[in-house]
Amino acid sequence: MPRELVPPPCTALPAKADVVIIGAGLTGCATAFWLQRLYGRSSVIVDARGLAGGATGRNGGHLWPNPKSDFERATVEELLSFIEAEGIECDLTHDGAVALERRAPEEGVEYHDAPGDPEAGDGEDEDWGETPVLDAAACAARLQSDAFAEATLYDGARQFYPAKVAAALLRASGATLYAPCPVSYPKGRASRGAGRPYIRCA
Ligand SMILES: Cc1cc2nc3c(=O)[nH]c(=O)nc-3n(C[C@H](O)[C@H](O)[C@H](O)COP(=O)(O)OP(=O)(O)OC[C@H]3O[C@@H](n4cnc5c(N)ncnc54)[C@H](O)[C@@H]3O)c2cc1C
């Protein structure tokens, strides 16, 4: 993540806060943003590592919804409209995505989904429509690599940089991020579910 997008971490925790959010990934930053936007509440965010220190900072950035999933399509549409409405610079591209087949050593290898995996089965729940197949030459032209024998192109997919969206959400939320600040639930305390939540920040 570019340094200028990372807010300086604070270390002196406040004694009290209205809302404490654990985790400064997309979920935590979006929660802080919407608490501010909808209810005018400002939050404190604590994170063991820092902004986008977890999955948000290290994922593929694919926006690749299953066309048969209303939830996935609606979520992606919501995110895209949000990025556009807020003018968030996050390297968004609309060039589709490719599923790659390596020349070697994966040729001929069959992968098996675990039993009960909703994505397993005969693929009837995934109708991706037209998915052109690229040959080795087309792969090389698109990917600047000759490692791939074939690829399937999914036109509807997009790519973005989630950590930049998290940084924009954090900035717009006005929340204060404290990091590094690992949170634990002390043993022997009725800290989960009942009564006042109790956490310890090291
Ligand atoms: C390798 C990889 C590739 C992925 N590729 C894609 C993709 O292409 N497209 C897609 O849509 N999704 C992808 N995902 C999933 C996506 O990244 C996650 O769904 C999303 O980032 C989750 O955001 P989050 O805020 O819920 O969690 P995170 O980003 O993991 O945030 C959780 C935060 O909580 C902090 N934390 C955890 N425990 C504590 C604690 N005890 N105390 C304090 N802080 C704590 C962590 O440091 C972290 O910053 C990928 C995930 C991975 C790992």
Instruction: Kindly list the domain boundaries of the chain, sorted by start residue.
Output: 1-60+161-202, 62-108+123-159
65 Cβ below 6 A of ligand 1: no
- Please compute the mean of the pLDDT values over residues 129-151 and round it to a whole number: 91
Of 34, 169, 154, 157, the C-alpha closest to 90 is 169
76 Cβ below 6 A of ligand 1: no
The CATH class for the domain spanning 1-60+161-202 reads: alpha beta
56 Cβ below 6 A of ligand 1: yes
Is the pLDDT at 117 greater than 80? The verdict is no
Question: Which sign does the torsion angle of CA 129, 130, 136, 139 carry?
Answer: negative
pLDDT at 82: 94
Ligand 1 atom closest to the CA of 28, numbered from 1: 25
pLDDT at 187: 63
Do 48 and 130 meet the contact criterion of CB atoms below 8 Å apart?
no
Report residue 125's pLDDT band, with 50, 70 and 90 as the boundaries.
Answer: low
